[in-house]
Amino acid sequence: MIREEKRLEVEEEIRKKVDDLMREELEQLKIAVERDKGKKGKISKKRKKTKKKANKKGKKKKDKDLTPDRTTESLVEELVQNGIIRTYPRVMLDEITGDISYTAMEMKKRGMDPRPGPGDIRRTIAEYCILPMASQHLRENTPHIKSVLLVGPEGVGKTLILNAICNELGAILFDLTATNIVGKYPGKSGLNMLLHLVFKVSRLVQPSVIFIDAAEKTFLKKVSKTDKSDPKRLKKDLPRLVRSLSSEDRVLLVGASRQPWECEQKGLMQTYQKLLILPKPDYSYRYCVWKTLITKAGGIISTTHHNDFDLSSLTKISDGYTSGHIQYAVNQILTERRLIQQNQGGRALRPSEFIVPLSKCEPVYREEEAALTAWLVKTPIGKKRYKLLEGDDEEGTGGGASGAGKKEKKKKKKK
C-alpha cells in the first residue's frame, strides 16, 4: 500500500515537470513559427545586427586544421614525447590543510582587507576551477571561467593547487611554461603548430588543464639578456586562444606568478579572468602545517612532561616562511636514519633541529608583500574589491572603521 501511494506521488511530480517542459517547448515552437512567417515580435534591429556581427566574427575565428589526417592517438603521442603533456603527483583538494578565516567578516566591518584562510582558498578553487569543469549545467548558466592566475610568493602552494585541480578533474595536463617549450617547435610556423596541437588535443581529450608557470614573463616589458627561454613567445597568441574557448570546452588555463607587477598589465588581465591571491601563512596555518607534515613524515610530537615538543615556539620562529619552506625543513630532518633513532634509540624530536634547514630558505620579505598589495590595488578586480570594502565601511555602524579608512587614504595622499 505504501509503495503504491509513493508511486502515485512520484508519478504526479513527474507529470507536472513534463507538463512544464512541454509548455516551454510549445512556446519555443510558437516563436519559431512566428519568426518563419516574418513576425519578429519585439526583437529589435540592433539585436539582429549584433547577431550578424557575431556570426561573421565566429566565421573569422575558425582556425584552419593543420592536422586533418592525423589520429588523436598520434597527436597525444607527439605531445607526450615532447614533454608538453606530462604527469602530475596525486594530490587531492582536501590535502590543503587548514580552516577558513573566522575573523574575515569582523575585519571587513572594520574596513580591513582580510587574507583568505586555507579553507577559503579550497572553496574558491572548487567554485572557479572544479565545479564548472565537472558540470555542463553550471558552465551554461554561470559566467564561463576560462582562466585563473595563482599569485603568491615561492612555496605558498601554487603547484600543489595545480596538481589538486588536475587530480579532482582527472584532467590531462599541458605544460606551456617558457622553460618547458624552449627549443621545441621553433620559428613562427613551429609555434603555430604547437598551439594548434595543444588547443586541438585539449578539446579532444577534455577535461584538460593548460599550465604556464612564471606567467608574468609572457608579458614582460623587457626580457633579461641572461634569459634564453624566449618567455614572450606566446604573448600575441595566448589571449586570442583563451577567448576562443567556449562553454562547451572543458579546458582551463592556469597560470602561476610570483611577481605579476613586473609585466604589462593589459595582456595579463586580458588572458587571466580570475586572480587567486595566496598569501604567506599566518600563525594558525603554520601551526597546522608543522603538525601535519611532521606527523605525516613519521615524526612524533612528544607532549610528555620530561620532553615537551614546543610546537608553538617553532611556529613563531618560522614567521615569514611558507608551507613549501616548512616541507623542505621536515624532509631534511625526518630522514630514515632519524626516524630509526626516534623509534628505537629513544632520541625524541626537538624543535631546534628544524631551524638549521629552515634558515637556508629565503623568507617572504615585507617589500615583496608590499609590492604584491600595491599591484593588486591597481588591478580591475582589486579596484572593485576595495570599492566594496569602502561601501561596507560607510554602511557599518560606529564610525570608527570608516574614520580609520579615511585616515589611511589621507596618509597615502601625503606620501
Between CA 316 and CA 190 the distance in angstroms is: 52
> For the residues of 63-88, what is the DSSP string, one character each?
---S-TT--HHHHHHHHHHTTSEE--
Would you tell me how many other CB atoms lie within 10 Å of the CB of residue 52?
A: 10
Phi first, then psi, for residue 313 (nearest 5°) are -65, -40
Confidence band for 390, pLDDT divided at 50, 70 and 90: low
Q: What are the pLDDT digits (tens) for 143-192?
A: 889 999 999 999 999 999 999 999 999 999 999 999 999 999 999 999 99
pLDDT band at 129 (very low <50, low <70, confident <90, very high): very high
- Which element (helix H / strand E) includes 330? helix 323-333
Q: What is the pTM of this model?
A: 0.76
Q: Which pLDDT value is given to residue 28?
A: 66
The full DSSP string for 192-219 is HHHHHHHHHHHHHT-SEEEEESSGGGGG
* Of 243, 67, 254, 78, nearest in space to 159 by CA: 254
pLDDT top residue among 65 and 34: 65
Instruction: Answer whether residue 16 shows pLDDT above 60.
Output: yes
DSSP secondary structure letter of residue 14: H
Instruction: Give the 3-state secondary structure of 295-320.
Output: HHCCCCCCECCCCECCHHHHHHHCCC
What percent of the chain has pLDDT above 70? 74
Of residues 327 and 3, more confidently modeled: 327
Q: Is the pLDDT of residue 4 over 50?
A: yes
For residue 40, name the pLDDT band (cuts at 50, 70, 90).
very low
pLDDT tens string 261-305:
989 989 999 999 999 999 899 898 999 999 999 999 999 987 654
- Range of lowest pLDDT (98-107, 311-320, 395-404): 395-404
Instruction: Give the dihedral of Cα atoms 92, 95, 98, 104; nearest 10 deg.
Output: -10
